[in-house]
């Protein structure tokens, strides 16, 4: 199978392509590639990719990546000539990340970090495709201090039989899958350790901080922080994250594991206050018990991303929050009803 396109554009698969990060990634890739978006819609939404369905170089396949995927079994993909051109790149993003529904999605997380890994990596081997897996900062475990800097060489400490283990330890096992396939089959497979990312199309009413804050502010309800007044977090805007993923895919085979996120910590109270100001709301701030899926996160060491990918996050928090609020206001009816 050829590993370079024989026609004008490369073929790219994005699993979880109808999700938050996945839909933005598909939107970016359609400028330069033919994109096969795979999603079972257990956590994503067709609404996220509706605007892409008009493009002949984009195709959405509703499919569970926990099962083996053969593009030749789908007539709608005939236009991509996969039999002759193959697949050049695979971005594997499919995995539920729901704070509020974490318990009910535990098996989905377990499968996404095991069966889905083997299936997508087998596909990469078959087509000699480059492969990027979106792992998570949770592989490092809890930071020792609030200003703790996680470098890619830090081994981390994760409890492998905790209530969160299907996701946290699952991501560690998923990384092992990537590295093992790289060793055995010599494929160009890479791991992006993704830190908290925000932007338009984040799932609503799901325990995700920024969209929930905006909904509460628009309704004049109390802004609910699941933590205390000292809670801090790093926040990376979606366009920066997508740029990092694309740069990682384009990098050479010597690049294998890279942190992607913001290395600037912000107080969650400040985030809530900015949203209150942007929405001109009179909401007050209240504090609740942390959700099971939410954990303390450290700061990504971005030296490797800067030196090997020439990447760093560019969007200021104030600008990013304004974009999300503007999106929420301009899509208020859908935003409120979802």
pLDDT of residue 101: 65
306 falls within a domain: yes
Residues 130/157/164/244 CA torsion (nearest 10 deg):
-30
* Helical residues (DSSP H) of the chain, grouped into ranges: 20-29, 82-85, 106-112, 115-127, 165-185, 209-218, 238-250, 268-278, 303-309, 317-330, 332-337
26 falls within a domain: yes
**Alpha carbon distance 153, 62 (integer Å):** 37
* Residues in a beta bridge with 232: 267
**Residue 168 lies in domain:** 10-198+235-263+296-314
The pair of structure tokens assigned to 132 is 């990027």
Strand, coil or helix: what is 161?
coil
Strand, coil or helix: what is 225?
strand
285 falls within a domain: no
* 174: Cα within 13 Å, side-chain hemisphere: 35
**Alpha carbon distance 119, 140 (integer Å):** 25
The number of helices, as runs of H, and strands, as runs of E, in the chain is 11, 15
pLDDT of residue 2: 47
249 falls within a domain: yes
pLDDT of residue 231: 85
Going by C-alpha positions, the residue among 103, 101, 114, 129 that lies closest to residue 36 is 129
The pair of structure tokens assigned to 50 is 């509706």
pLDDT of residue 159: 78
DSSP state of 157: B
336 falls within a domain: no
Going by C-alpha positions, the residue among 57, 38, 17 that lies closest to residue 245 is 17
Q: Please give the chain's pLDDT, 338 residues, in tens.
A: 445 555 679 999 999 999 999 999 999 999 999 999 999 998 889 999 999 999 999 999 999 999 999 999 999 999 999 999 999 999 999 998 766 666 777 888 899 999 999 999 999 999 999 999 999 999 998 887 767 889 999 988 787 888 888 888 999 999 999 999 999 999 999 999 999 999 999 877 666 789 889 989 999 999 998 888 888 889 999 999 999 999 999 999 999 999 999 999 999 999 999 999 999 999 999 998 876 666 667 899 999 999 999 999 999 999 999 999 998 888 766 655 55
227 falls within a domain: no
208 falls within a domain: no
330 falls within a domain: no
Structurally, the chain folds into a number of domains equal to 1
Between CA 234 and CA 238, with CA 237 as vertex, the angle to 5 degrees is 130
The pair of structure tokens assigned to 174 is 């998923």
Is pTM beyond 0.85? Reply is: yes
pLDDT of residue 170: 93
Query: Which residues carry out catalysis?
Result: 167
Residues 38 and 87 sit within 8 Å (Cβ to Cβ): no
Residue 71's CATH number: 3.40.50.720
Residues 266 and 232 sit within 8 Å (Cβ to Cβ): yes
């Amino acid at each position: 199978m050829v590993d370079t396109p024989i026609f004008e554009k490369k073929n790219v698969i994005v699993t979880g392509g109808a999700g938050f990060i996945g839909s933005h990634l598909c939107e970016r890739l359609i400028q330069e590639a033919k994109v096969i978006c795979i999603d079972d819609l257990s956590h994503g939404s067709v609404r996220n990719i509706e605007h892409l369905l008009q493009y002949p170089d984009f195709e959405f396949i509703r499919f569970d990546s926990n099962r083996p995927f053969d593009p030749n079994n789908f007539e709608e993909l005939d236009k991509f000539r996969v039999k002759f051109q193959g697949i050049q790149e695979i971005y594997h993003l499919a995995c539920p990340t729901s704070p509020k529904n974490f318990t009910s999605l535990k098996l989905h997380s377990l499968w996404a970090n095991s069966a889905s890994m083997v299936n997508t990596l087998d596909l990469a081997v078959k087509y000699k495709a480059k492969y990027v897996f979106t792992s998570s900062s949770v592989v490092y475990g809890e930071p020792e201090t609030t200003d703790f800097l996680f470098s890619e060489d830090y081994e981390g400490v994760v409890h492998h039989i905790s209530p969160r283990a299907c996701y946290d330890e699952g991501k560690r096992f998923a990384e092992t899958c990537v590295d093992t396939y790289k060793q055995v089959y010599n494929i160009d497979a890479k791991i992006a350790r993704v830190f908290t990312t925000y932007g338009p199309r984040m799932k609503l009413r799901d325990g995700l901080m920024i969209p929930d804050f905006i909904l509460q502010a628009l309704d004049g309800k109390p802004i609910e922080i699941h933590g205390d007044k000292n809670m801090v977090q790093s926040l990376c805007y979606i366009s920066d994250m997508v740029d990092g993923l694309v740069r990682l895919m384009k990098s050479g085979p010597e690049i294998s594991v890279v942190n992607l996120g913001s290395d600037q910590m912000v107080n969650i109270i400040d985030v809530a206050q900015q949203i209150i100001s942007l929405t001109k709301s009179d909401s007050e701030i209240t504090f609740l018990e942390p959700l099971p899926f939410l954990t303390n996160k450290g700061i990504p060491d971005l030296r490797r991303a800067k030196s090997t990918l020439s990447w760093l996050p560019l969007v200021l928090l104030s600008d990013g929050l304004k974009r999300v609020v503007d999106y929420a206001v301009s899509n208020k009816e859908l935003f409120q009803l979802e």
